Chain A
Amino acid sequence: MGIGTTHTVALSGAVGHLIEVQADVSRGQIGTTVVGRADSSLAEGRDRVRMAIINSGLEWPATKRITVLLSPADLKKTGTHYDLAIAVAVLAADGVVPQRSLERTALVGELALDGGLRCTQGVLPMVLAAAHRGISRVVVPEPHAAEAALVPGMTVLGMRSLAQVVAELRGEEVPEARPVPPLTGGNLLTWRGESRLEEVDLADLVGMDDPRFAVTVAAAGGHHLLLTGPKGCGKTSIAERIPTILPDLDAEESLELTAIRSIAGVLDPDEGLARRPPYVAPHHDASRPSLVGGGSGRVRPGQVSLAHGGVVFLDEFPLFRSDVIESLREPLESGDVTVVRGDEAVTLPAQALFVLAANPCPCGNYSPDRRLDRCSCRQQALRAYQQRLSGPVADRIDILRRMSPMGVQLGDRFANRESSADVRRRVALARERQRARYAGAGWRLNAHVPGPVLREEHPLPDDARAELDRAVLDGRLTRRGEVRVYRLAMTVADLHGLERPGLDEVRVALRLRLGEPLEAATVTSLRRAG
């Protein structure tokens, strides 16, 4: 009789904690207790584990007192993936599994009564956390093996049942078992939506020079964007093509996004690491938890976290509920989301490019063409609508563009039809310049550089500085707006391959920020530059 020790991982948000599971099997009053701040779903594991062990043809120490400790004991633990670690700890304490075989090994998985393993969410971030804490081997349900193997240097055992795990640990021949059903659920929809988006390309859009230039700048520098214009002018079309001009995610972003998907349970096991920037377009009825994350029990990442490294498109932005709009302030400003539930606060990354779209009026029937104008909005409704567009969230938007339905010139053979690949190359070059410039700093893109750093380390030439000051003195820009123009000017300069922005770049940035039409020569300048 003795103590068995195994390891597993607790997740809070995207942060994993290594948990030591100790099982003590000794004489005493018969029964099983689990201590260490386990929630009810975890406590139920006691029964699952007992039946799983018995139904696997192994012996449950029924005449003994069994105590299971999950430590650190003060960390709140929730979920069902502790089952496997608890079962193996009990078996190790009972001498069925040699303790030596459990060194530097973590176990993750829920058990069914027949001893079969069940899938769980968040395997990737768990394994990542385990790797940081010196674990070199993980046992996971078979469908998660590929996901766990994304972590470099990790030995992964994908198993189907408790009996298989025990045999493997004892060095015996692994018995047959039924395959583990994968986690799918309602995630197919997202998946299908993404494959549709893989087929869109900027080349599908004819003309639209002004918004094309704006999304190029937004993508290159990570600037949030607000598009206004009557319906049918192509706001959605251009927004859903922004991911196509973003370069592949870098290794860090890619792992972060895949981990978030794993937590949300929407990771496609066949896909492996997410390489392409994601795109989400929540409807304006969306609730706050669905957008920024939350939920009961385990934290579910919201849409903005699922768009980490990619694009969040909020169509009909002023129609979103005001508490939802308020909750976007944090991800817009800092690039992550903090969800507070009960006594815990969980922070998830949400470094996405926000694209907001709005009609000129709430009814959406306004048209600049007098013959087509069917707007029936009252002045009061119009004012309320406009106010939402100038609130604190809109103040965090770098680029404002007014789109017009005339921009679509289908028959125009001279119109810009550049493909996403062409633009993506340009964006990648501009991002490369930023990466080199900001190496070692806590930010990667111009949009995230703090204002004081800009002014001290990347000063503007005198004439450009004067132009910016004049805009503030004229009341066209707020001080917050000034910093945004500054950042935009940096990005415009990066797109042109310039060392630093000058007067021209500041002027372009001002127009982008103030929603004024760009000069026609500006929008073609990138194409000419190649």
Chain B
Amino acid sequence: MSEQPALPLPHEGEPVDGAGEGWGQPEPDPPGSERDRLARIVLGQVFEPGSARVDGLVRELGAARLLTLLGEHRWVQDVSNDARARLAQVHPERDLERAEAMGVRYVVPGDDEWPACFDDLAGLEPLHECSGPPLGVWVRGPHRLDEVSDGVAIVGSRAATTYGVEVAGHLGSMVVQAGHAVVSGLAYGIDQAAHRGALAAGGVTISVLANGVDRAYPSGHERLLDAVAAEGLVLSELAPGTAPTRIRFLTRNRLIAALGRGTVVVEAAARSGALNTANWTSRLHRALMAVPGEVTSAASRGAHQLVRMGAATLVTSPDDVLEVLGASGEHLAPDVRGPTRTRDKLAHRHQRILEAVPVTRPAMTESIARTAGMGLFEVRGGLDQLARGGLIELTRRGWRMRQDEEGRPVIPD
């Protein structure tokens, strides 16, 4: 840090609370500048991602200035001393160089590639003490992040059933064919199925990790990770080489929700992490959807709960998902309706008359009128019309349903 130009600093020991005034400081380094980028790398490694406090300070002071203050052992309110202690172990230029060698880039606000959707995370109420846009993201893959942000997040349980896996795979392949990118994690079950479906259809799929983009977790997904990195995008707030922790999966989920225009929960048990992503989706005011399962299926309990609470829209096909995501009036899914039946085409009074015509034993017009509860004159006209339509026939003993060649009554549906 010594080669950085000296900045005018507040007096030693003076509290810096981020909201201070009269600092006499210049404008923070513009986002996207080299100093800003390096500072963000460092901050990203000394703090857990999704810290609302760090986000606020960076917004206020700029990443570089916050780092300098930390480096000079100034007391920054609410910022732990542990973080400060870790500063010395971080070498951002070296990290960046190594990352580049692996085909990994670090994207920060101000870069052309920075997707606007991340900024929507700013100012959201924290969930599990986590909120805010990422300081920057490590990215692997041939696409520009800002160009693939028209995503659909497909999330669900690791302990999925074969049904959930099939639905997620089908959904993945259909949404990429409609021009969307799939966004998910890299877990077994639904995540895996969604990526596979998207890749099978030759589409773009984005995997957001809770660890460095250079390693697969679970390790059995190494091939899947490489395929996503080769044809889609792999990204993470955490520097290459970083291992996942339980809390990092939760903070990661806000990025999945932010990258998607909507989130589909395919199968989620009662305490699934997918419900956390669903929660972020709601906070972001993005479309939240859930795929139903059998009512007895434990794997669908969480998804059912989302629908029951009114938080998610029930979707049963890719068409439904596209309709929800599309601008109003676009991608309208076909209505569910039964086939049109012969009776549907009849006028209501003719339906009533037809109802009163006996199937085999003929009845006279008067009797039919009585059964139908209608006037004789009206019934007489109606019967003639029904007979012309080939639905009923007149015998010597009255009206009945038309009979086929073998004498069996033909009953219209």
Question: Which of these binds chain A: B155-163, B256-264, B366-374?
Answer: B155-163
Chain A residues with CB under 8 A of B201 = 411
Shortest CB-to-CB span from A400 to chain B, Å, is: 14
Are B336 and A209 in contact (CB-based, < 8 A)? no
Indicate whether A251 reaches chain B with its CB closer than 8 angstroms. Answer: no
Are A516 and B200 in contact (CB-based, < 8 A)? no
Chain A residues with CB under 8 A of B81 = none
Most buried by A among B163, B227, B317: B163
Are A414 and B162 in contact (CB-based, < 8 A)? no
Indicate whether A27 reaches chain B with its CB closer than 8 angstroms. Answer: no
Are A370 and B200 in contact (CB-based, < 8 A)? no
Which of the residues B189, B296, B297 comes within 8 Å of A520, measured between beta carbons?
Answer: B189
Indicate whether B197 reaches chain A with its CB closer than 8 angstroms. Answer: yes
Which residues of chain B in 287-306 are interfacial with respect to chain A, using CB atoms and an 8 Å cutoff? 294, 296-297, 299
Chain B residues with CB under 8 A of A410 = 200
Alpha-carbon gap, A209 to B162, bound state (A): 7
Are B166 and A518 in contact (CB-based, < 8 A)? no
Query: With A370-B317, A406-B167, A413-B227 known to touch, is A519 a contact of B161 (CB < 8 Å)?
Result: yes
- Majority secondary structure, A binding face: loop
Chain B residues with CB under 8 A of A404 = 163, 166
Which of the residues B166, B199, B227 comes within 8 Å of A406, measured between beta carbons?
Answer: B166
Indicate whether B170 reaches chain A with its CB closer than 8 angstroms. Answer: yes
Indicate whether B131 reaches chain A with its CB closer than 8 angstroms. Answer: no
The 8 A CB mask of A466-506 against B (1 = contact, 0 = none) is 00000000000000000000000000000000000000000
Shortest CB-to-CB span from B190 to chain A, Å, is: 9
Residue ID in chain A nearest B300 by CB atoms? A517
Shortest CB-to-CB span from B184 to chain A, Å, is: 14
Are B294 and A516 in contact (CB-based, < 8 A)? yes
Query: With A404-B166, A412-B169 known to touch, is A516 a contact of B317 (CB < 8 Å)?
Result: no
Chain B residues with CB under 8 A of A369 = 317
Are B294 and A406 in contact (CB-based, < 8 A)? no
Residue ID in chain B nearest A213 by CB atoms? B162
**Size of chain B's interface in residues, with CB distance under 8 A?**
36
Residue ID in chain A nearest B162 by CB atoms? A210
Chain B residues with CB under 8 A of A519 = 159-162, 299
The 8 A CB mask of B145-172 against A (1 = contact, 0 = none) is 0000000000000011111111101100
Shortest CB-to-CB span from A283 to chain B, Å, is: 26
Indicate whether A407 reaches chain B with its CB closer than 8 angstroms. Answer: yes
Alpha-carbon gap, A445 to B160, bound state (A): 31
Which residues of chain A in 190-217 are interfacial with respect to chain B, using CB atoms and an 8 Å cutoff? 209-210
Residue ID in chain B nearest A407 by CB atoms? B166
Most buried by A among B192, B196, B317: B196
Shortest CB-to-CB span from B297 to chain A, Å, is: 7
Residue ID in chain A nearest B413 by CB atoms? A378
Query: With A371-B334, A404-B166, A517-B297 known to touch, is A414 a contact of B161 (CB < 8 Å)?
Result: no
- Give chain A's interface residue range (CB within 8 Å of chain B): 20 to 34
- Majority secondary structure, B binding face: helix
Most buried by B among A210, A409, A516, A520: A520
Indicate whether A436 reaches chain B with its CB closer than 8 angstroms. Answer: no
Indicate whether B397 reaches chain A with its CB closer than 8 angstroms. Answer: no
Are A414 and B160 in contact (CB-based, < 8 A)? no
Indicate whether A30 reaches chain B with its CB closer than 8 angstroms. Answer: no
Chain A residues with CB under 8 A of B167 = 406
Shortest CB-to-CB span from A519 to chain B, Å, is: 6
Alpha-carbon gap, A516 to B164, bound state (A): 12
Are B200 and A517 in contact (CB-based, < 8 A)? no
Which residues of chain A in 369-419 are interfacial with respect to chain B, using CB atoms and an 8 Å cutoff? 369-371, 376, 378, 404, 406-407, 409-415
Are A411 and B200 in contact (CB-based, < 8 A)? yes
Chain A residues with CB under 8 A of B189 = 520-521
Alpha-carbon gap, A369 to B170, bound state (A): 12
Are B413 and A412 in contact (CB-based, < 8 A)? no
The 8 A CB mask of B199-234 against A (1 = contact, 0 = none) is 111100000000000000000000110010000000
Which of the residues A209, A370, A413 comes within 8 Å of B319, measured between beta carbons?
Answer: A370
Indicate whether A151 reaches chain B with its CB closer than 8 angstroms. Answer: no
Are A516 and B166 in contact (CB-based, < 8 A)? no
Alpha-carbon gap, A295 to B197, bound state (A): 53
Chain B residues with CB under 8 A of A411 = 173, 199-202
Indicate whether B188 reaches chain A with its CB closer than 8 angstroms. Answer: yes
Indicate whether B13 reaches chain A with its CB closer than 8 angstroms. Answer: no
Chain A residues with CB under 8 A of B196 = 409, 412, 414-415
Alpha-carbon gap, A413 to B200, bound state (A): 7
Chain B residues with CB under 8 A of A376 = 339
Shortest CB-to-CB span from B332 to chain A, Å, is: 12
Indicate whether A523 reaches chain B with its CB closer than 8 angstroms. Answer: yes
Alpha-carbon gap, A404 to B169, bound state (A): 12
Shortest CB-to-CB span from B352 to chain A, Å, is: 22
Shortest CB-to-CB span from A251 to chain B, Å, is: 38
Are A413 and B199 in contact (CB-based, < 8 A)? yes
Are A412 and B166 in contact (CB-based, < 8 A)? no
Alpha-carbon gap, A218 to B87, bound state (A): 60
The 8 A CB mask of A423-460 against B (1 = contact, 0 = none) is 00000000000000000000000000000000000000
Residue ID in chain B nearest A412 by CB atoms? B200
Query: With A409-B200, A516-B297 known to touch, is A521 a contact of B159 (CB < 8 Å)?
Result: yes
Are A520 and B223 in contact (CB-based, < 8 A)? no
Residue ID in chain B nearest A515 by CB atoms? B294
Most buried by A among B160, B161, B170: B161
Excluding A370-B336, A410-B200, 12 further A-B contacts by CB distance (< 8 Å) are A406-B166, A409-B169, A409-B196, A412-B196, A412-B199, A414-B223, A517-B161, A517-B163, A519-B299, A520-B193, A521-B159, A523-B162
A contact set with B: CB distance below 8 Å = 209-210, 369-371, 376, 378, 404, 406-407, 409-415, 516-521, 523
Q: 10 smallest A-B Cβ distances: which pairs?
A: A411-B200, A517-B163, A517-B161, A210-B162, A412-B200, A406-B170, A517-B162, A520-B160, A406-B166, A520-B165
Q: What are 10 A-B pairs with beta-carbon distances under 8 A?
A: A406-B166, A409-B196, A412-B200, A414-B192, A414-B224, A520-B161, A520-B162, A520-B193, A521-B159, A521-B188
